[in-house]
Amino acid sequence: MGELIFLGIESSCDDTAAAVVTADRRILSNVVSSQTALHEAFGGVVPEIAARAHAERLDLVVEQALAEAGLGLRDLAGVAVTAGPGLIGGVMAGVMCAKGIAAGAGLPLVGVNHLAGHALTPRLTDGVEFPYLMLLVSGGHCQFLLVRGPEDFTRLGGTIDDAPGEAFDKLAKLLALPQPGGPSVEAAARDGDAGRIALPRPLLDRPGCDMSFSGLKTAALRQRDALIAAQGGLRERDRADLCAAFQTAVAEVLAEKARRALAAHPVPVLAVAGGVAANAQIRAALQEVAARAGARFLAPPLRLCTDNGAMIAWAGIERFREGARDGMDLVARPRWPL
């Protein structure tokens, strides 16, 4: 066998993705077909629509990933696929596609946990050694992981309700700002005064790394309604100040919990992944925490922070090197804690 090259397939939420990655950390292709436009009118991802779109697009996305890499199936050492957690129809479509390719081309199949894909990304992008600390913050997830090996993850804490991205999206909805909420709240916050409107810092008084963001959203709703009642409406400045206060509260909570995680487990690297890692204030707050703890802060490029096939191919390579192989009995799992 020549070089170790994997195809990775991801379809657990609203991105249909495939990528070709080598064991020496080269990303030969990374194709992502977003379904955002399909779900926009519904104000959230519709599982049935997502599953159908994945089933329609997977073959084409895989074909494009191979073409962009300039490779055929015979050049691959294996196929990795997200086997959960996620929206079950989409995960099933991906797993069936991967099984078809593996069986047809006689290639090994490796099922990958989507969260492990995110958590191992710093090893693909920067060759980071174990152990390291990972903060996964997206629209669906929020957790601190101590990563000690390709299959050795310890969850140090996480959200007990909403994920921060979800909270950003809900705040945007409350303020009639465009979706996805993260980028529009961040843009609005730029002109805002974070000190004018008081918002809570949920669970900050409780020890450990657990977090809560739904109370923050409810508090923002009350402040919005109080402003509307007092003034007869919301001004541009109110929106900006609410967004700034909200973003600062999220950044402070994440930073304080990261500080605790690093204090309990003093590892050389704090890494982030997930769409919320795009937020400049949150990044800066985490960077400062890492610097104070003498750790390196690492945020992969955004296209590798959000859902993609490269992280699945890479996690597949890592598992494959540990001897992992899956058969035609690989199941798609809606829930699959690390």
Residue numbers at the binding site for ligand KG4 (CB under 6 A): 13, 138-140, 165-166, 168-169, 180-183, 186, 274-276, 278-279, 306-307
In the complex with Zn ion, the residue whose CB is nearer, 113 or 281, is: 113
Close Cβ partners of 333 (under 8 Å, ≥ 6 residues apart)? 83, 84, 85, 88, 91
Q: How far is the CB of 201 from ligand KG4 (least distance, A)?
A: 17
Q: Which does 275 bind (CB under 5 to 8 A by kind): ligand KG4, Zn ion, none?
A: ligand KG4
Residue 136 known to bind ligand = yes
- Positive/negative CA dihedral, 140, 146, 152, 158: negative
Q: Binding partner of residue 143 among ligand KG4, Zn ion, none, CB under 5 to 8 Å per kind?
A: none
Q: Which is nearer to ligand KG4, 157 or 182 (CB)?
A: 182
> Binder to Zn ion among 10, 15, 307, 318 (CB under 5 A)?
307
**307 has binding-site annotation:** yes
Pairing mode of beta strands 132-137, 269-273? parallel
Which residues are CB-neighbours of 148 under 8 A, at least 6 positions away? 130, 131, 154
Binding part of the chain for Zn ion, among 25-33, 70-78, 86-94, 305-313 by CB under 5 A, reads 305-313
Tokens of 157: 């804490």
Spatial contact of 179 and 160, defined as CB atoms under 8 Å apart = no
Residue 118 annotated as binding? yes
114 is in an annotated binding site: yes
Sheet bearing 109-113, strands edge to edge: 27-34, 15-22, 5-10, 78-84, 109-113
How many degrees, rounded to 5, is the angle at CA 306 between CA 41 and CA 163?
70
- Please state the closest distance from residue 93 (CB atom) to Zn ion, in A: 16
127 is in an annotated binding site: no
Structure tokens at 148: 């000690």
Q: Is 54 annotated as a binding residue?
A: no
Minimum CB distance to ligand KG4, residue 138 (Å): 3
Where does this chain bind Zn ion (CB under 5 A)?
Answer: 307
Q: Which residues are annotated as a binding site?
A: 114, 118, 136-140, 169, 182, 186, 279, 307
